[in-house]
Structure 1
Amino acid sequence: MSNHPLSATGRKLTLVVLGLAALVTAMLCAFALPSLHSGPHRVPIGVTGPQESTEALRQNVDGDAWKVRTYPTAEALQAAVKDRDVAGGLAVTDRRVDLYTATAGGPSATAALTALGDTIAAQQGTRATVHDLVPFTRDDPRGAGLTAALLPMIFGGIFPALILSSAFPGHRGLRTRVAGALLFSVVAGAAIAAVLQYATHSVDGNYWLTATGLILGTAALSTTLLGLQALLGAAGFALGGALMMLLGNPLSGLATGPHWLPTGWADLGQLLPPGASGSLLRSNAFFNGTGAALPALTLTAWTGLGITLALFADRRGRRAAAGRPEAGPA
């Protein structure tokens, strides 16, 4: 009996169905697994006080959840919190417990640290006094506007690739698409920063510093998607969109702070444009640029990668056009 191979349509349908199933599975893993294992993971915190108290605290607390560092004075601990060396800290004495936090640096870690401080204070028969050194703004105390900024940035990378490809199709429009994406990033980044600062009052730092970070984040997203699309076509765009939405969005840590995700997931999220964009926005908007170097470098690398892919696709297209025979006379 002879075997009848699948038709070309059947094989194509099978590949599409398997690809979609794999995509949905990856989406479930990206959204569910980090959430199931979320919590403080080696969050750096500082302690100061009498040596006996700090050493006992270090032995009891230092572990999988917290990474304890000792500081000589409460002033040194406060400076470390503002410089983002630690997420917060405890100043412990025989009579009181002072808790220093930076809610804008990571609200989930701040809540867990506050609970830890209350527990330690209760053991000493007192109450913890909380000092939020870097809070969210008064008009947006929960940071809702900051969290909401992530999706516009992601879609700000997806929409230019779609719309510019339709308006300026083919190889001849490639350079125009790249230039349009960069110009769009400047306009969109400045607009998002203006909304966050002047409309919702979610940030109150230097406007131009915040806008520059948002421009760089939007450029990293848009040029990467354009470069993948120019080089690989629709498959490249789908790959880039899935990478940004299905991995970059849930692993960004913008709502909770990166320390709330499992270590491996958090590191991966900070290497992707959405996570790096969120960290850069947080650094520029609330910490006056402290800690901005690494996410800025990451976004610059992604922008360079996207432009490089587009230039490679442009060179390939020029070679193909040069090798194409000219039409003879009718």
Structure 2
Amino acid sequence: MASVLLGLTGVVILMLCAFALPSINSGPHHIPVGATGPKAATQALKEKLQGAEWDVTVYHDTAALTSAVKERQVVGGLALGADGIDIYTATAGAPIATNALTALGNAAAAQHQMSATVHDLVPYPEDDPRGAGFATAGLPLIFSGIFPAVILTRLFPGRAGMRTRVAGVTLFSLLAGAAVTETLQYGTGSLAGDYWLTALGLSLGMAALSMTFMGLEALMGFTGLGAGAAVMLLLGNPLSGLSTGPYWLPSGWSTLGQLLPPGASGSLLRANAFFDGADATGPALILAAWVALGLGLLLVADRRNRSARPGSAAAQPHIEAFPTSA
């Protein structure tokens, strides 16, 4: 009893740390922003901001800056002029970083007694201007990976059911991805962009989670599935950056979060739903790698089970042959 209670206490502490530490240490961490304007002004701005909080890239004109924002090369930028500062943002890409950049531009304009004008190039949809629906997609995405893995493993166990489980997860991911996208895009108005591209991206994220969970269960039983679910819930969800964007988390935490399926799924969803697929290749490849990992674990478990069967060659006892006399 004591060991069980201590174990449960440890899980509670782990959950607290997983959710609290990234929030406590959150803030601007190497946020990529752009600047354009007179050379002396942009160089002075770059020297002032360059450091642990901001990474400044200078563009030769406003068109290049706005193109970089729309292509997700930077989260926003400042166009410095003689009469004022134009602040270009993409709220749907990194909402909190956008707020920080806007505050920075307003402060710079006030310091030089100029006006500041904000241009939100990629806002959230009008029906959900704060991105609340998008930000809450993390946990449903994780559970949509856990449930089919558990149910299909129970219904179609063993080597005989492996192909059925893989086919079931694939079909479920496609159907669920389409349904969730339809709900968020047409029901709550939280998403924009091409419906089918967004749905396929969500389906890939669900498949990445489900395949991984099934592979872990096949290799290590429900202990493996439970461990995988704990990692995704305790690390993947709070580090996904769905509500803040990845640049508001500490660098190491942010990198880890984007390598896990919830973070990669969120980045792919953001790219497809708001940026016409810009910068979607990276997260898509990460999710594809998780799908491949899950399939690989299933194959390893299948080969291990085949070699352990009583009738298999590997399981047969070795009998030494004695020479026969002539």
Structure 2-normalised TM-score?
0.92
**TM-superposed deviation, 1:127:** 2.5
Letter matched to residue 237 of structure 1: L
Select between 314-323 and 295-304 the one with higher mean Cα deviation: 314-323
Tell me whether 1:159 sits opposite 2:147 in the alignment.
yes
Match for residue 209 of structure 1 among 197, 217, 241: 197
Tell me whether 1:87 sits opposite 2:45 in the alignment.
no
Matches within 5 A, 1:1-330: 14=3, 16-323=4-311
SS at match of 1:103: coil
Check whether the contact 1:137–1:203 (CA below 8 A) recurs between aligned residues: yes
Residue correspondences, number: 313
Where does structure 1 lack aligned partners over 5 or more consecutive residues?
Answer: 1-9, 326-330
Letter matched to residue 126 of structure 2: R
Q: CA 1:305–1:99 in 2, change beyond 3 Å: closer, same or farther?
A: same
Residue deviations 1:180-231, cap 9 Å, x none? 1111111111111111111111112001110110010000000000100111
**TM-superposed deviation, 1:322:** 4.7
SS at match of 2:92: helix
Letter matched to residue 61 of structure 1: L
2:324 aligns with none
Letter matched to residue 177 of structure 2: G
Separation in structure 1 between the aligned mates of residue 198 and residue 247 of structure 2, nearest angstrom: 22
**TM-superposed deviation, 1:25:** 2.7
**TM-superposed deviation, 1:27:** 1.8
Residue deviations 1:69-115, cap 9 Å, x none? 11111111111111111110000112110000000001000000010
Residue deviations 1:25-68, cap 9 Å, x none? 32222111110010110101011111121122112222111111
1:7 aligns with none
Separation in structure 2 between the aligned mates of residue 176 and residue 320 of structure 1, nearest angstrom: 22
Select between 76-85 and 16-25 the one with higher mean Cα deviation: 16-25
Letter matched to residue 144 of structure 2: G
Select between 27-36 and 278-287 the one with higher mean Cα deviation: 27-36
Identity between Structure 1 and Structure 2 (%): 60
Residue deviations 1:208-265, cap 9 Å, x none? 1101100100000000001001110011011100111000000000110000000000
Separation in structure 1 between the aligned mates of residue 231 and residue 169 of structure 2, nearest angstrom: 19
Where does structure 2 lack aligned partners over 5 or more consecutive residues?
Answer: 316-326
Check whether the contact 2:83–2:115 (CA below 8 A) recurs between aligned residues: no
Check whether the contact 1:273–1:299 (CA below 8 A) recurs between aligned residues: yes
Separation in structure 1 between the aligned mates of residue 13 and residue 219 of structure 2, nearest angstrom: 26
Separation in structure 2 between the aligned mates of residue 290 and residue 17 of structure 1, nearest angstrom: 48
Letter matched to residue 229 of structure 2: G
Check whether the contact 1:174–1:230 (CA below 8 A) recurs between aligned residues: no
**TM-superposed deviation, 1:270:** 0.2
How much is the aligned-residue C-alpha RMSD, in angstroms?
A: 1.6
